[in-house]
Homo-oligomer: A and B are copies of this chain.
Amino acid sequence: MIYTITFNPSIDYFVSLDNLTVGQLNRSAVEFFKAGGKGINVSQVLTNFGLNNIALGFVGGFTGKKLVDLLNENNINNDMIFIENQNTRINVKISANNETEINADGIFVDEKDVDNLIIKLKDIKFDDYVVISGNISKKCSINLYKYLVEKIKTLCNNIVVDCSGDLLKSVLKLEPFLVKPNLKELEQFANSELKTDYDIKQAMIKMQKCGAKNVLLSKGSDKAVFLRTDGLFYEKEPYKGKVVNTIGCGDSMVAGFIYEYIKTGDTKKAFNFSVAVSSASAFKTGLADKNDLKKLDLDI
């Protein structure tokens, strides 16, 4: 089984207007809601590819109930922890002359809540996968994140982590099976600008030395780079196509890697497939599914 964990999911509220004027009353023309959260995106792609998984996370209030409704509508298996007296955050996504986002901080979670989440993993096997994607609310201590990963580490060997900054640093020594930084996150980790391929690879090696087994770097439209447990590097450019949406492409990459790795046990194939799924997500408004891959000239 694969479990995904989204610490701080959201209801994404998309509003569309011709022009956003700061300091004034603006009127939107179109509005809709989507379930937001990096782990939830991973679950959506795994579900789209027919791989059984359960989305876990912390939700609350009327927005939390709506989030679960949205997951159910999208056939995403889920088993969320409800936090009392708090609401799942609403992130506002404004599509106008520019794309402007206002992300809220989110809900406060404590050790007891994390323990309740661990209870949801009671049937986990040591060779199952747990994908922990996205950051936590600023209200929560970094130690809480580490506490969660430590607890999971005792239950399962294959932890995938996609977070940034001090959160990522705090859990590397727990030897996650896979980490997936983007360039900005890798630079944060290295504490320096990474201008050349050499710089990038050195930073990835450093990340591995800190504990990560496999390091998967997403670099958007440029390329993806993979550092295998044994020190071998792979690189791959994204597939060619018209990019219509890059939201969730990194999460699609994580899902693609896991899908192919579980199927073949081959990290090179898994890496190549991860790039294909990420590209396929970039070419559509939603997230990739099996049919989208048929349109690519796959070279896995």
B residues less than 8 Å from A87 (CB atoms): 33
Select the stretch in A13-21, A198-206, A214-222 that faces chain B: A13-21
Q: Which residue of the partner chain, among B23, B27, B105, contacts A28 with CB atoms under 8 Å?
A: B105
CA gap between A104 and B25 in the complex, in Å: 11
Q: Are B20 and A104 in contact (CB under 8 A)?
A: no
Other-chain contact of A66, B17, B21, B62, B98 (Cβ < 8 Å): B62
B92 A23 Cβ-Cβ under 8 A: no
Contact B31 A89 (CB under 8 A): yes
Contact across chains for A31 and B104 when beta carbons are under 8 A apart: yes
- The CA-CA distance from A90 to B32 in the complex, in Å, is 10
A119 near B: Cβ within 8 Å? no
Q: Kindly report how many copies of this chain are found in the complex they form together.
A: 2
Residues of B near A99 (CB, < 8 A) are 23
Interface residues of A in 76-94 (CB under 8 A from B): 87, 89-90, 92, 94
* Residues of chain B within 8 A of A291, CB atoms compared: none
Chain B contacts of A92 at CB under 8 A?
13, 15, 92, 102
How many Å lie between the Cα of A24 and that of B63 in the bound state? 24
Q: Interface residue tally of chain A, by bracket?
A: 35 or more
Give chain B residues whose Cβ lies under 8 Å from the Cβ of A105: 27-29, 31
Tell whether A103 is near chain B: CB-to-CB under 8 Å.
yes
Does chain B have a CB within 8 A of A65? yes
Is the CB of A127 closer than 8 A to any CB of chain B? no
Instruction: Give the contacting residue for A22; candidates B28, B31, B98; CB below 8 A.
Output: B98
Interface flags, A175-202, vs B, CB<8A=1, else 0: 0000000000000000000000000000
Those 6 A-B pairs whose CB atoms lie nearest each other, nearest first: A23-B98, A62-B66, A25-B101, A31-B104, A26-B102, A22-B100
What are 6 pairs between A and B in contact, CB < 8 Å? Answer: A21-B100, A22-B22, A27-B105, A28-B103, A28-B104, A62-B66
Given contacts A15-B104, A28-B105, 14 further A-B contacts (CB under 8 A): A20-B100, A20-B102, A21-B100, A22-B22, A22-B96, A22-B97, A22-B100, A24-B100, A25-B101, A26-B102, A27-B102, A31-B89, A31-B90, A33-B87
